[in-house]
Amino acid sequence: MKHFNIAIDGPAGAGKSTIAKEVARRLGFVYVDTGAMYRTMALHFIRSGIDPKDEQAVAASCRDVDVSLRYENGVQQVLLGGENVTGLIRTEEVGNMASATSVYKPVREKLVELQQALARRENVVMDGRDIGTCVLPDAPAKIYLTASSAVRAGRRYKELVEKGVECDLAEIERDIIDRDYRDMNRENSPLRQAEDAVLVDSSCMTVEQVIAAILEAAKSRGLEVE
For 134, which DSSP code? I
57 labeled part of a ligand binding site? no
With contact defined as beta carbons under 8 Å apart, do 210 and 19 qualify? Answer: yes
18 labeled part of a ligand binding site? yes
Three-state DSSP class for 125?
strand
16 labeled part of a ligand binding site? yes
Other residues' Cβ atoms within 10 Å of the Cβ of residue 64: 9
**Residue 27 belongs to what H/E stretch?**
helix 16-27
Pairing of strands 75-80, 67-72: antiparallel
Angle at 122 between CA 117 and CA 127, to 5 degrees: 75
Which residues lie across from 198 on neighbouring strands? 143
Other residues' Cβ atoms within 10 Å of the Cβ of residue 16: 26
11 labeled part of a ligand binding site? yes
194 labeled part of a ligand binding site? no
15 labeled part of a ligand binding site? yes
12 labeled part of a ligand binding site? yes
Annotated binding site: 10-18
* Binding-site annotation, residues for ATP: 10-18
